[in-house]
């Protein structure tokens, strides 16, 4: 049974092929003078039309070998048909005969040297066939034909990167940005290239530009913040985070990062306010509630800290971290048996955390349970053999 044209692209091929034939092997969409056309009065060979239809039907039914024979025979009657060349190349691709597909597409280029579909397929085939130099040449050609196509430039930039031609890739990404058609991925990639080149100042410029063009994209602020952290520009980092959260109170990642920054700047009240907002918006937010509980403990309010830790344990009974938090809490309070109880529960849920076994071993050591301390510290050592704390 022949499938609907909506289910597979094959039926579109019949239209492309027949149009190529009835247009006397020409294709005037694009550059009209590029094709070597037959006189407009020439009638398409009916044998070629019949074979093209037969080949398309066979392709739709999944009979690729039979379809290929039909298309090849049709091409004997119309050797300059670009549509037939595309059809044959498509069958070769389905059969994973990439060299044959490349050969046919190169022949088609003689009749349609600026056909984007042919060029793009040819470039992809060169990539699949591990011929980056040829793929690069094709993408350069495509960009010359369509200089304002951002997707082509982005693909060319990617090929440049793969070839180690970083400066050329940067040129292409900057051209996309200058054209006003850059997506967030373009800014992200360009910024990371600069970071790899150890040019954080250039990365900051790129990410600031990203924020300017996409002020509603939280990722832009996050990426900019990471670079500002790396260059230790705390003043700018604080300004970026505060402005972002002022414009978008719903930015959860920025809220968390700003709260952590406030803690680093010894502004616990400001950090607490942000953590409270996060927990109020989502009472199951494990990370922010943990940070809030830790903050209360550091401020000396162990009662409130304990309430939050217990709430986390109740809402996340299968999460080892909720028991680890309580184990840490009791350890810091000096209640070593209580700490051991919760750390043991955490280990039952996830025994692959070296830090957990280290803290458990420390508890046993302080209780003079040396054999148990040695046993747990050995477990930590086996997980992290070069950790001196486990020796």
The CATH number given to whatever domain includes residue 385 is: 1.25.40.10
Q: Please tell me the predicted confidence (pLDDT) of residue 386.
A: 56
Q: Please tell me the predicted confidence (pLDDT) of residue 14.
A: 45
Do 360 and 347 contact (CB within 8 A), yes or no? yes
> Which residue is associated with the tokens 């109020």?
280
Count the residues in the chain.
391
Residues of the chain predicted below pLDDT 70:
1-44, 385-391
**Tokens at residue 103, please?**
């050969």
**Tokens at residue 370, please?**
């040396």
Whether 50 is in a domain gets the answer: yes
* CA–CA distance, 176 with 228 (Å, rounded to integer): 25
Whether 90 is in a domain gets the answer: yes
> Which residue is associated with the tokens 């373009």?
186
How many Å from the N-terminal Cα to the C-terminal Cα in the chain?
A: 71
Whether 379 is in a domain gets the answer: yes
**Percentage helix, strand, coil for the chain under 3-state DSSP, each rounded to 5:** 75, 0, 25
**Tokens at residue 332, please?**
């810091």
Q: Please tell me the predicted confidence (pLDDT) of residue 47.
A: 84
Do 60 and 87 contact (CB within 8 A), yes or no? no
Q: Which of these three, 103, 127, 151, is where a domain ends? A: 127
Whether 252 is in a domain gets the answer: no
Whether 286 is in a domain gets the answer: no
DSSP for 191-223 reads HHHHHHTT-HHHHHHHHHHHHHH-TT-HHHHHH
Segments forming the whole domain that contains residue 85: 1-27+41-127
Whether 287 is in a domain gets the answer: no
Q: What is the pLDDT of residues 281-301, one digit of tens each?
A: 888 889 999 999 999 999 899
Contacts of 131 (CB under 8 A, 6+ apart): none
Q: Please tell me the predicted confidence (pLDDT) of residue 126.
A: 82
Q: Please tell me the predicted confidence (pLDDT) of residue 15.
A: 44
Q: What is the pLDDT of residues 105-147, one digit of tens each?
A: 888 777 887 878 888 888 788 877 787 788 888 888 888 888 8
Mapped onto helix, strand or coil, the DSSP state of residue 318 is: coil
Contacts of 33 (CB under 8 A, 6+ apart): none
* CA–CA distance, 155 with 183 (Å, rounded to integer): 13
Q: Which of these three, 127, 142, 157, is where a domain ends? A: 127
| Element containing residue 124 per DSSP (H, E) | helix 116-128
Strands (E), 251-352: none
Whether 183 is in a domain gets the answer: no
Q: Which of these three, 85, 106, 127, is where a domain ends? A: 127
Number of domains observed in the structure of the chain: 2
Whether 115 is in a domain gets the answer: yes
Q: Please tell me the predicted confidence (pLDDT) of residue 385.
A: 60
């Amino acid at each position: 049974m022949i499938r609907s044209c909506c289910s597979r692209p094959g039926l579109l091929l019949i239209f492309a092929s027949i149009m190529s034939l009835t247009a006397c092997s020409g294709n005037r969409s694009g550059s009209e003078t590029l094709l070597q056309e037959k006189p407009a009065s020439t009638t398409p060979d009916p044998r070629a039309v019949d074979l093209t239809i037969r080949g398309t039907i066979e392709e739709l039914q999944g009979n690729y070998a039979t379809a290929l024979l039909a298309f090849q025979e049709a091409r004997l009657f119309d050797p300059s048909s670009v549509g037939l060349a595309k059809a044959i190349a498509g069958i070769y691709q389905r059969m994973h005969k990439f060299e044959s597909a490349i050969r046919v597409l190169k022949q088609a280029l003689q009749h349609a040297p600026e056909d984007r579909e042919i060029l793009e397929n040819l470039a992809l085939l060169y990539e699949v066939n591990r011929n980056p130099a040829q793929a690069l040449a094709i993408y350069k050609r495509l960009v010359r034909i369509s200089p304002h196509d951002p997707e082509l430039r982005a693909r060319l930039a990617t090929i440049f990167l793969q070839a180690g031609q970083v400066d050329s890739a940067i040129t292409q990404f900057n051209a996309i940005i200058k054209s006003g058609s850059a997506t967030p991925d373009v800014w992200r990639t360009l910024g990371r290239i600069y970071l790899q080149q150890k040019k954080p100042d250039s990365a900051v410029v790129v990410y600031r530009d990203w924020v300017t063009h996409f002020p509603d994209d939280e990722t832009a602020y996050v990426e900019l913040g990471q670079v500002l952290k790396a260059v230790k520009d705390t003043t700018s980092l604080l300004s970026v985070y505060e402005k972002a959260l002022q414009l978008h109170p719903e930015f959860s990642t920025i809220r968390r990062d700003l709260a952590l920054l406030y803690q680093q700047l010894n502004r616990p009240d400001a950090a607490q306010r942000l953590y409270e907002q996060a927990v109020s918006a989502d009472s199951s937010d494990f990370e922010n509630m943990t940070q809030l509980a830790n903050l209360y403990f550091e401020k000396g309010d162990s009662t409130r800290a304990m309430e939050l830790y217990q709430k986390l344990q109740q809402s996340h009974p299968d999460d080892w971290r909720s028991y680890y938090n309580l184990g840490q809490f009791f350890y810091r309070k000096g209640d070593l048996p209580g700490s051991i109880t919760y750390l043991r529960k955490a280990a039952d849920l996830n025994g692959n955390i070296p830090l957990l076994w280290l803290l458990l071993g420390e508890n046993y050591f302080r209780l003079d349970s040396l054999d148990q301390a040695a046993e747990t510290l050995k477990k930590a050592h086996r997980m992290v053999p070069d950790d001196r704390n486990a020796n």
